[in-house]
Amino acid sequence: MQFLKTLILLGSFTLVACQHNVTQTKMTHLAMVHEAESKLDQSFYQFQQSAKKPVIALVLGSGGARGYAHIGVIEVLEKYGIQPDFIVGTSAGSIVGSIYASGKSAAELHSIAMQMKVGDVREINIGFKGFFDGKKVEDYVNEQVGQTSLEKMKIPMYVVATELKHGKKVIFNYGNTGQAVRASVSIPSMFVPTKIAGQEYVDGGLVSPVPVNVARDLGADIIIAVDILAQPVYTETSNVWGLFNQNINIMQNRLAAEELKNADIVIQPDLREKAHIFDVKGRQETIQAGVDATLQRLQDINTVLNKKKQSDPISESPLNAYN
Active site residues: 91, 203
Dist. CA 271–CA 284, nearest whole Å: 12
Who's near 25: CB < 8 A, 6+ residues apart?
Answer: 32, 171, 214, 217, 218
Query: Which CA distances in Å does 100 have to 74, 104, 213, 226?
Result: 9, 5, 21, 15
* Cα(136)–Cα(95) distance, integer angstroms: 13
Cα dihedral sign, 168-169-174-178: positive
Nearest by Cα to 230 from 248, 210, 215, 244: 248
How far apart (Å, rounded) are the C-alpha atoms in residues 181 and 97?
10
Cα 270 from chain centroid? 18
